[in-house]
Amino acid sequence: MYKWTKNPESRSLPAGEAMAKWMKKNLFPTPAQSMLSIILFSLILKMLTPFLDWFVYDAVWLGSADDCRQASGACVAFIREKFTFILFGFYPREYLWRPIAAIGLFICMLWYSKEPSRWSKRLVRRWVVYVFLWILLMRGGMFGFELVPSNKWGGLPLTLMLSFVGIVFSYPFGILLALGRRSKMPVIKAFCVGYIELIRGVPLISLLFMSSVMFPLFLPEGVVIDKLLRAQAAIILFVAAYMAEVVRGGLAAIPKGQYEAGEALGLSFFQIMRLIILPQALKIVIPPTVNTAIGMFKDTSLVLIIALFDLLNTTKTALKDGNWLGFSVEGYLFVALIYFIFCFSMGKYSRRLEYELTTSRSH
Amino acid sequence: MKKLSILLLFTLFSGQALAGKTFKNIMKRQKVRCGVTQGLPGFSAPDSKGNWKGIDVDVCKAVAAAVFGDPKKVEYISLSSQQRFTAIQSGEVDILSRVTTHTLRRDSEMGLNFAPVTYYDGQAFMVRKKDKIKSALNLNGATICVQQGTTTELGLADYFRANKMKFKTVTFENNDEVVQAFVKGRCDAFTTDASGLASERTKFKNPNAYMILPEIISKEPLAPAVGHGDDQWFDVVKWTVFAMLAAEEYGLSSRNVDKFMSSKDPKISRLLGKTKGNGKALGLNEKWAYNVIKQVGNYSEIFERNVGKDTALKLERGPNALWTKGGLMYAPPLR
Amino acid sequence: MNNNEIPFWQDPKNRSIVFQVLAFVIVIFTSWYLFSNTQANLQRQNIATGFEFFTQEAGFEIGESVVEYDSSSTYFGALKVGFLNTFKIAVVGNFFAILIGIFIGILGLSRNWMVRTLSKTYVETFRNIPLLLQLFFWYAIFTEILPGLRQAMMPIKGFFICNRGLFLTVMADHPIWSWVIAAFFLGIALTFFANHFGLKRQAKSGQEFPIIIWGIGLLFLFPVLIWLLGGAPTKLSVPELQGFNFSGGYNLSPEFFSLLLGLVLYTGAFNAEIVRAGIMSVRKGQWEAAESLGLSRFKSLRLVIFPQALRVIIPPFTSQLLNLTKNSSLAVAIAYPDFVNIANTTLNQTGQAVEVVGLIMAVYLTFSLLTSFFMNWFNRKMALVDR
């Protein structure tokens, strides 16, 4: 749905004559359009100069808070000062290499898993190994790694963990819900429809409140579940409803003949699903699944409201430092950039996959 | 594999599952779960090494000393003001020691039992000096920043209604946000307990640009609280606080308590458990009060250490002095 | 045993019944378990339950309200204020988000590379950054960058901007103004109707209907007429610095304005993409057909392409409409007194977490269901109108 179709002309600027031709077509086709182009160009230029002044020429890259206050530009020194805290929160400084390694490995794993040709059982096994590595690195408490309790985790690792675990658990749950919604059994169907519509009808914040202030009352006296785990559960329950709708779209696209063929082969319902329907349906919905994942990645920032130290909350905390007051714009732009890089690359990846998958299907 | 990972997650995060009453649970778990703020210097805030410090923290330590003879057996759980009451209602924390004002509604329908007051406070206003506001009565029409869901939010509305003045509120859930909004100029005044104002001012870059108005507009007796339904536990918390007050009254402190062990004074002898009976009555070790005084200190020590003249907060004892010195602090007989 | 007979467990019918009963029992048991735990927790400690607090005095003030409210009102009154504030931001926010969406979405299809790129940059930037972060950013601009009350900027006479929000000059209070506004909304409805009627007539007789002239007439003449009938009041209410604040005029608080800006720009980016994709989904032949009829580019868009695109656009628009409404609950982070914010305060003051969180969910669920019903109705209507 959110696809920028490729516009061959806008892809790259050809050189020389081709470029003149391109400009004629895309910037100056008619007198009115030419005027528009020129006006827009000068406007952009006019806005760009003060921004460059702020960000480059007048910016304070090295120095103290007072240097920043005297200058009129951006206070990059603030980011330098708070860099570690924003990215890693209260994680003990002496073990900082551990979350860095965990994130580095995470990005490597993502990079490695990006090619559809590598999707296999082996890859899943590798991810399982990676998850253990992550726990070992982040939490420690075994093999000579010092224990770092979960209330010390914060910043980017926490955001990534909330998103990753959220996806891993909400995906199968969403598939079950989608199957339930299409089920011929009225009771199962009613439960699934009720759940999906209920969750999609309320804001995530209300589920987080529930996990934070209401859920403890649900448990017998004395049973306590960690705040982080409760928030994670709320996110999973929330995203699963959206995943279910995505998967349902894929299931609806599979022609009825496929089910019948499965039945004719004497396969059971679950065999039909596992061997015939789901592999096709899930493949169709990979792009919207990635979009849901992007949405969830952004939504993890809401845990700030129930006082967990995700990337956004560490930034807010850094901004509250009495010595470095007044650099919110710099701080927010910095994390915005981090979020943007993650979301934008995921979105690009989703579009590429969609392109590849549609073309491979039409062969 | 999924089951395994669920199991893994649970072992990672979950606490022990225990049923029964609060006190029994605490004994089994060998730890007191103590609900504190998210950081209010002087009352409960982590220092640079992550150790919790403050009056409210010391109360929890004292309770742990009374129960286990070890003030370190406390698990601190920082709670937002929104989370605090459910946390105690659901048994997530055993004791709420979190600058909480004792009120009728909280004591009854919200399911809390308040131990003796550990700090008598009152609500006040902070303003910018350059605005030249001399009294709270000059605040007609002002925009005021306040933390939502607190007694100060109610006290503020009461005060302005009583004095027929108008104002605008800007409310945040988090105390830090309130302070930020005030410092950045979103509001003309910021209101909370007077001690809280003093505490926040220590964090400002230029504290002298701000002043606290003289009016104290409400009573805010801050007290630790436990949940309804376990009277023994309530008694333990209550008498731990009283023991600290009594210790100050009798002149016992963490430094000299050992010398008093041989004291002939029957009051002191009972307090320190040489004359047996008090401990048994509470279901504790007879040396419970000795442990509190030895390992945490008397009330005066706690006060001076956390908010007193030598700290950044520089608070006077005022109403928090002992009754013998014109204050309100008074312990019933420990017998 | 007869081999042809299906064993009990292999019969799909039996299996389905057993499966359903099992699921039912599990769900009921889980709910009962959670419910009884809650009940036990609350009863053990004698904690108040139920909605009696509705009629009790709230005792706290609310920063902004569209109806009469003070601290002596009840909790119900307070929650009503919150509800209306949410409603306000949802209506105003969605209105602008749709406008931006349509505008930027159409620009995304421009022949001009520069326009296209700008549209794309906007969309990619705003939808790839968490909304909460954007809200904090706009709020920080207000509280940190903009000057204080006494140094308020005045870009236009009678319009002030400072860290206490925007202060606008508006018409002074007069009963006729509410009628003028009502007339304006009636004008919108009539224009819509006239457009519909005009297109039908055009389809039948080929006679073109001057909708733009009619629209201007209905939208503006009508209210002006009412205004004249009401005695044509012209008194202005100009914001003036007085004591701690501006008096007079209309104040948009920084909280409201940051929330509005954040929601509109974020949702607008998604809407733009929906509009763009919707228009692209209309086959190229339709453009060519319209062109060959001699229609201008704008006219072909309005008369031929857009009505067809609308059918693709409306369903995802509905979810964006709902998203904005649900996302407005993030107001709690920047102190705008929306429903969640007031409910949160209520929760703190009464300690009744179960009731209050349940209430929040019920209110948003109602919002969602109502919007869904309305949009489904609208969608059916659109599908019928242009066959």
CATH number, domain containing residue B181: 3.40.190.10
- Identity of the residue in C144, C148, C348 whose CB atom sits nearest the CB atom of B149: C348
- Identity of the residue in A90, A222, A306 whose CB atom sits nearest the CB atom of B91: A222
* Mean pLDDT of the C173-179 span: 78
Partners of residue A326 in chain C, C-beta under 8 Å: 144
- Are residues A2 and C277 in contact, defined by beta-carbon separation less than 8 angstroms? yes
- Identity of the residue in C115, C130, C353 whose CB atom sits nearest the CB atom of A339: C130
Partners of residue B9 in chain A, C-beta under 8 Å: 165, 229
Q: C56: closest CA among C346, C363, C365?
A: C346
Is residue C8 scored above 70 in pLDDT? no
A117 or C51: whose pLDDT is higher?
C51
Q: C42: closest CA among B140, A245, B211, B85?
A: B85
Decide if C331 touches A, using CB distance below 8 A.
Answer: no
- Nearest-CA residue of chain B relative to A320? B180
Within this chain, do residues B103 and B125 fall inside the same structural domain, yes or no?
no
Within this chain, do residues B138 and B208 fall inside the same structural domain, yes or no?
yes
How does pLDDT run across C11-66, given as a tens digit for each residue? 777 778 888 888 889 988 988 888 888 888 787 777 778 888 999 999 899 988 88
- Are residues B250 and B263 in contact, defined by beta-carbon separation less than 8 angstroms? no
Give the tokens for residue A157.
């690792």
- Nearest-CA residue of chain B relative to A217? B90
* Mean pLDDT of the C194-205 span: 79
Q: What is the mean pLDDT of chain B?
A: 88
For domain A168-362, say whether CATH 3.30.450.40 is its number: no
- Nearest-CA residue of chain C relative to A337? C129
Give the tokens for residue C119.
């549209």
Question: Which structural domain, as residue segments, surrounds residue B144?
Answer: 121-220
Decide if A39 touches B, using CB distance below 8 A.
Answer: no
Specify which of A37-51, B39-53, B226-240 reaches the highest per-range mean pLDDT: B226-240
Q: B176: closest CA among B159, B142, B153, B199?
A: B199
Which subunits sit against B, judged by 3+ Cβ pairs under 8 A?
Answer: A, C
- Nearest-CA residue of chain A relative to B172? A305
Question: Which of C112, C339, C341 is best to mutate for the A interface (most A CBs within 10 A)?
Answer: C112
Partners of residue B143 in chain C, C-beta under 8 Å: 164, 244-245
- Nearest-CA residue of chain C relative to A8? C113
Domain ranges of chain A: 92-147, 168-362
Residue B327: inside a domain: no
A150/B12 CB distance under 8 A: yes
Q: C44 to chain A nearest CA, in Å?
A: 10
Is residue B17 scored above 50 in pLDDT? no
- Are residues B23 and B284 in contact, defined by beta-carbon separation less than 8 angstroms? no
Q: C126: closest CA among C118, A46, A107?
A: C118
Q: A309: closest CA among B39, C334, C48?
A: B39
Within this chain, do residues B107 and B27 fall inside the same structural domain, yes or no?
yes
Is residue C148 scored above 60 in pLDDT? yes
Alpha carbon B195 to its chain centroid, in Å, reads 11
% of residues, chain B, pLDDT over 90: 65
Which CATH code for domain C75-154+253-385?
A: 1.10.3720.10
Partners of residue A214 in chain B, C-beta under 8 Å: 86
- Identity of the residue in A128, A139, A226 whose CB atom sits nearest the CB atom of B1: A128
Give the tokens for residue B277.
């009976």
Q: What are the residues of chain C with a beta carbon less than 8 Å away from any beta carbon of chain B?
A: 41-42, 44-48, 59-63, 70-72, 142-144, 148, 163-164, 242-245, 254-255, 332, 335, 337, 341, 344-345, 347-351, 353
Residue B323: inside a domain: no
| Contacts with A, C 241-280, CB within 8 Å | 270, 273-274, 277, 280
Partners of residue A150 in chain B, C-beta under 8 Å: 12-13
Decide if A212 touches B, using CB distance below 8 A.
Answer: yes
Partners of residue C127 in chain A, C-beta under 8 Å: 343
Split at pLDDT 50, 70, 90, the class of C211 is confident
> From CA C49, how far away is CA A298, in angstroms rounded?
36
Split at pLDDT 50, 70, 90, the class of C358 is very high
Within this chain, do residues B70 and B216 fall inside the same structural domain, yes or no?
no
A167 or C384: whose pLDDT is higher?
A167
Q: C202 to chain A nearest CA, in Å?
A: 30
Question: Which of C13, C44, C133, C259 is best to mutate for the A interface (most A CBs within 10 A)?
Answer: C133
Split at pLDDT 50, 70, 90, the class of C169 is confident
Q: B131 to chain C nearest CA, in Å?
A: 10
- Identity of the residue in A128, A226, A307 whose CB atom sits nearest the CB atom of B38: A307
B184/C143 CB distance under 8 A: yes
* Mean pLDDT of the A56-82 span: 82
The residues near B308 (Cβ < 8 Å, ≥ 6 apart) are B314, B315, B317
What is the reported pLDDT for B335?
86
Give how many domains chain B has, as a whole number.
Answer: 2
Q: A247 to chain C nearest CA, in Å?
A: 16
Within this chain, do residues B227 and B294 fall inside the same structural domain, yes or no?
yes
A340/C125 CB distance under 8 A: yes
* Least trusted range by pLDDT, from C42-46, C149-153, C283-287: C42-46
Residues C64-68: contacts with CB under 8 Å, at least 24 apart = C64/C253, C64/C255, C64/C256, C64/C336, C64/C337, C65/C337
Q: A120 to chain C nearest CA, in Å?
A: 30
Question: Which of B101, B144, B168, B187 is best to mutate for the C interface (most C CBs within 10 A)?
Answer: B168
> From CA A48, how far away is CA A323, in angstroms rounded?
30
pTM across the whole model: 0.87
C143/B106 CB distance under 8 A: no
Within this chain, do residues B84 and B155 fall inside the same structural domain, yes or no?
no
Q: Look at strands B189-193 and C159-162 and give their pairing.
A: unpaired
Chains B & C: contacts with CB separation below 8 Å: 119
A80 or B242: whose pLDDT is higher?
B242
- Identity of the residue in B25, B38, B83 whose CB atom sits nearest the CB atom of A212: B83
CA dihedral in degrees (C173, C178, C179, C180; nearest 10)?
A: 80
Is residue A10 scored above 70 in pLDDT? no
Question: Which of A129, A164, A176, A223 is best to mutate for the B interface (most B CBs within 10 A)?
Answer: A223
Which subunits sit against C, judged by 3+ Cβ pairs under 8 A?
Answer: A, B
Within this chain, do residues B87 and B229 fall inside the same structural domain, yes or no?
yes
Alpha carbon B205 to its chain centroid, in Å, reads 26
Within this chain, do residues B236 and B103 fall inside the same structural domain, yes or no?
yes
Question: Which of B16, B90, B177 is best to mutate for the A interface (most A CBs within 10 A)?
Answer: B90
Residue B333: inside a domain: no
> From CA B194, how far away is CA A172, in angstroms rounded?
53
Length of chain B: 335
C128/A347 CB distance under 8 A: yes
Q: A225 to chain B nearest CA, in Å?
A: 5
% of residues, chain C, pLDDT over 90: 32
Decide if C121 touches A, using CB distance below 8 A.
Answer: no
Split at pLDDT 50, 70, 90, the class of A80 is confident
Is residue C126 scored above 80 in pLDDT? yes
Chains A & B: contacts with CB separation below 8 Å: 81
The residues near A38 (Cβ < 8 Å, ≥ 6 apart) are none
Partners of residue C48 in chain B, C-beta under 8 Å: 109-110
Q: In what order do the strands lie in the sheet with C250-252?
A: C153-156, C159-162, C165-168, C250-252
Which subunits sit against A, judged by 3+ Cβ pairs under 8 A?
Answer: B, C
Partners of residue C243 in chain B, C-beta under 8 Å: 140-141
Burial class (CB in 10 A: 0-12, 13-18, 19+), B129: exposed
What is the reported pLDDT for A192?
92
Partners of residue A2 in chain C, C-beta under 8 Å: 270, 273, 277
Within this chain, do residues B108 and B18 fall inside the same structural domain, yes or no?
yes
* Least trusted range by pLDDT, from A13-17, A237-241, B158-162: A13-17
Length of chain A: 363
Helix/strand/coil for B222: strand
Decide if C38 touches A, using CB distance below 8 A.
Answer: yes
